[in-house]
């Protein structure tokens, strides 16, 4: 075979040879392979290989229904490989078989895989009568638009789950992430998809000059913008000295009643260890204290003993609210001052389905079978009011995010009372030494860039960090390690980022323009061929 024989036509001919079953195996394989592009591996070539395969199978499918099936199969492996770590959370429950966790990941994928299925189906409907070779660029552009829109929808529908978006595969570089301050992670994801298809586009002779030129231009544009944005030094808030505590308590040792007191002592000892002179504010992670601190002033008094004059401590705890013989349960944060007083409280508003509550339709389905306890340990947590800015004496205004609330682009600050910094308390001990905690940290960094706000992150374990408003990690405590971070609080960026002002309107406008561009290019090409 001559080098010149390697073309789109030749490649697509190869993919017509496998049987239907073999196609399913190929799609499962490349779907799984694609997840190597995400944290912590960042093997970008896996995207370059996987997505053209899905595009070819979708366009060459017999029908839109078959295209949906191809996308669904690809998506199932794509999400399973990216979210396998969720299954680890079931291993900490002795009463639940370890393998059941991976069954639950597959159950989640039954829903998530619909999005790639819709992309493939939509691509087939749009280009069902179009030759892949003749309309290659239009088809690639359509696929990139559809996939980007599916990621955006996935971030909002049914409470949303925008995990492992395409833009995150650039997470190996602070520089390459900086453009999210302008247009957010969804738009960066679209650019990543176009870059993914550059080698595929180059298989056609007419694109072998323009395609690499556009690819290099896009990469250099992202690089130079990011480099310029990172040219400054991090500034700090005067008089604010933080101590971020990571106690590294195993999930199995956290909830048994006999361990509550011992674990509290561990946090207090870490808060007082070494030289705490000058520490003004102490940060403990999500549900660090299991006692209902809003109801127990004596316990708050005990905790306040680790504070210096004028100091405060932030800690996660399960807040109980009793009225009329009923108890409401919230995943909350409390701020305690030096006198043991409850200065402020925040209730988590974006809860984890199946982890913190069971959706009503699932509850109706599983309770008669006695399976509801597989999803949550008993009583559901209730939602808080939404993003909230706390005004604490001695601190700039702070927005609180508990656990995975930080993964939702454009939904993490109070639009009527914008904070000067963000506090993310979490507990990734559920997921062990897996990609999950590392992916969670990456998404936290991107939120800092988008909003132009520093983020202070305290984890039960995995991974506590101090992040500046450019997404740079200034200090961290590694996964499965006990430790503290003592530092001043980074300053916010003085001028609001474009993204923080316009949010996803930028992405929406871009998609509208791209659809128009695709139509114009298609009509122009069709006219030239007459």
Residue by residue, pLDDT tens for the chain (530 residues) are 444 457 888 888 888 889 999 999 999 999 999 999 999 999 999 999 999 999 999 999 999 999 999 999 999 999 999 999 998 877 766 666 667 788 889 999 999 999 999 999 999 999 998 999 999 999 999 999 999 999 999 999 999 999 999 999 999 999 999 999 999 999 999 999 999 999 999 999 899 999 999 999 999 999 999 999 999 899 999 999 999 999 999 988 998 999 999 999 999 999 987 656 689 999 999 999 999 999 999 999 999 999 988 999 999 999 999 888 889 999 999 999 999 999 999 999 999 887 788 777 676 676 666 655 555 456 889 999 999 999 999 999 999 999 999 999 999 999 999 999 999 999 998 898 999 999 999 999 999 999 999 999 999 988 999 999 999 999 999 999 999 999 999 999 999 999 999 999 999 999 999 999 999 988 887 665 55
H helix or E strand, kind and range, residue 313: strand 312-323
Q: How far apart are CA 472 and CA 438, in angstroms?
A: 14
Q: How far apart are CA 465 and CA 301, in angstroms?
A: 28
Q: What is the largest CA-CA distance in the chain?
A: 84
3-state secondary structure of 380: coil
Q: How far apart are CA 469 and CA 87, in angstroms?
A: 33
Q: What is the DSSP letter of 295?
A: G
Q: How far apart are CA 171 and CA 38, in angstroms?
A: 8
Order of strands, edge to edge, in the sheet holding 389-390? 389-390, 398-402, 421-426, 455-459, 464-467, 473-477
- Distance spanning both ends of the chain, measured CA to CA: 33
Tell me: the pLDDT tens digits for 141-154? 999 999 999 999 99
Domain(s) labelled CATH 3.60.110.10 in the chain stretch across 236-349+385-493
CB 164 within 8 A of CB 82: yes
Q: What is the DSSP letter of 42?
A: -
Strands, DSSP E only, in 369-477? 389-390, 398-402, 421-426, 455-459, 464-467, 473-477
CB 80 within 8 A of CB 109: yes
Q: How far apart are CA 194 and CA 304, in angstroms?
A: 54
Q: Is 373 a catalytic residue?
A: no
3-state secondary structure of 321: strand
CB 315 within 8 A of CB 333: yes
3-state secondary structure of 479: coil
CB 507 within 8 A of CB 471: no
The alpha carbon dihedral of 132, 134, 140, 142 has a sign of negative
Give 289's contacts (C-beta < 8 A, 6+ positions apart): 260, 264, 267, 299, 303, 315, 316, 317
Beta bridge mates, 321: 328
The whole-angstrom distance between residue 391's C-alpha and the CA centroid of its chain comes to 27
Q: How far apart are CA 194 and CA 455, in angstroms?
A: 31
CB 308 within 8 A of CB 338: yes
The whole-angstrom distance between residue 235's C-alpha and the CA centroid of its chain comes to 27
Considering the candidates 66, 121, 124, 286, report the single residue annotated as catalytic: 286
CB 331 within 8 A of CB 347: yes
The closest of 238, 340, 333, 343 to 280, measured between CA atoms, is 238
CB 156 within 8 A of CB 175: no
Q: Is 286 a catalytic residue?
A: yes
Q: How far apart are CA 414 and CA 400, in angstroms?
A: 10
Q: Is 348 a catalytic residue?
A: yes
| CATH architecture label of 236-349+385-493 | 4-Layer Sandwich (3.60)
3-state secondary structure of 198: helix
| Range 320-325 contact pairs with CB under 8 angstroms and sequence separation of 24 or more | 320/292, 320/294, 320/295
Secondary structure percentages of the chain, helix, strand, coil, to 5: 50, 15, 35
Q: How far apart are CA 318 and CA 286, in angstroms?
A: 9
Placement of tokens 């070779």 in the chain: 133
Structure tokens at 202: 């180059």
pTM: 0.94
The closest of 486, 491, 500 to 458, measured between CA atoms, is 486
Structure tokens at 116: 């790639």
Considering the candidates 254, 348, 388, 492, report the single residue annotated as catalytic: 348
The closest of 91, 174, 93 to 441, measured between CA atoms, is 174
CA distances from 391 to 293, 418, 488 (A): 20, 11, 18
Considering the candidates 23, 388, 403, 405, report the single residue annotated as catalytic: 403
Sequence length of the chain is: 530
């Amino acid at each position: 075979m001559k080098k010149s024989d390697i073309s789109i036509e030749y490649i697509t001919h190869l993919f017509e040879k496998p049987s239907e079953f073999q196609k399913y195996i190929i799609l499962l394989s490349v779907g799984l392979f694609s997840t190597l592009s995400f944290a912590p591996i960042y093997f970008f070539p896996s995207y370059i290989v996987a997505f053209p395969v899905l595009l070819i199978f979708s366009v060459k499918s017999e029908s839109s229904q078959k295209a949906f099936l191809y996308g669904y199969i690809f998506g199932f492996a794509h999400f399973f490989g990216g979210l396998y770590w969720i299954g680890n959370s079931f291993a900490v429950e002795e009463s639940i078989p370890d393998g059941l966790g991976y069954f639950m990941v597959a159950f989640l994928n039954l829903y998530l895989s619909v999005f790639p299925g819709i992309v493939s189906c939509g691509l087939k409907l749009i280009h069902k009568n179009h030759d892949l070779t003749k309309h290659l660029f239009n088809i690639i552009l359509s696929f990139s638009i559809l996939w980007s829109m599916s990621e955006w929808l996935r971030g909002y529908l049914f409470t949303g789950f925008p995990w492992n978006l395409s833009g995150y595969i650039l997470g190996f570089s602070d520089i390459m992430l900086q453009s999210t301050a302008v247009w957010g992670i969804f738009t960066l994801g679209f650019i990543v998809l176009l870059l993914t298809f550059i080698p595929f586009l180059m298989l056609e002779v007419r694109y072998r000059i323009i395609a690499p030129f556009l690819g290099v231009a896009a990469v250099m544009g992202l690089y130079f913008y990011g480099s310029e944005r990172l040219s400054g030094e991090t500034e700090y808030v005067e008089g604010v000295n933080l101590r971020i505590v990571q106690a590294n308590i195993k999930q199995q040792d956290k909830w048994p009643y006999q361990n509550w007191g011992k674990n509290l002592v561990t946090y207090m000892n870490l808060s007082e260890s070494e030289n705490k002179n000058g520490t003004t504010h102490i940060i403990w992670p999500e549900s660090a204290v299991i006692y209902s601190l809003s109801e127990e002033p004596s316990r708050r008094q005990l905790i306040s003993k680790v504070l210096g004059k004028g100091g405060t401590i932030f800690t996660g705890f399960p807040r109980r609210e009793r009225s009329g013989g009923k108890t409401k349960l919230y995943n909350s944060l409390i701020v305690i001052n030096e006198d043991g007083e409850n200065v402020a409280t925040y209730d988590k508003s974006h809860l984890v389905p199946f982890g913190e509550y069971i959706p009503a339709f699932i509850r109706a389905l599983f309770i008669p079978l006695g399976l509801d306890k597989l999803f949550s340990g008993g009583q559901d947590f209730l939602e808080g009011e939404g993003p909230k800015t706390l005004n604490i004496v001695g601190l700039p205004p702070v927005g609180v995010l508990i656990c995975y609330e930080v993964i939702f682009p454009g939904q993490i600050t109070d639009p009527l009372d914008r904070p000067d910094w963000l506090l993310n308390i979490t507990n990734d001990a559920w997921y062990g030494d897996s990609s999950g905690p590392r992916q969670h940290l990456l998404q936290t960094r991107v939120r800092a860039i988008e909003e132009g706000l520093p983020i202070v992150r305290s984890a039960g374990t995995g991974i506590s960090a101090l992040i500046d408003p450019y997404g740079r990690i200034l200090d961290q405590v590694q996964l499965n390690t006990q430790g503290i971070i003592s530092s001043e609080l980074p300053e916010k960026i003085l001028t609001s980022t474009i993204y923080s002002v316009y949010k996803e309107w930028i992405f929406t406008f871009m998609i509208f323009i791209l659809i128009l561009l695709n139509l114009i290019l298609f009509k122009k090409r069709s006219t030239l061929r007459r």
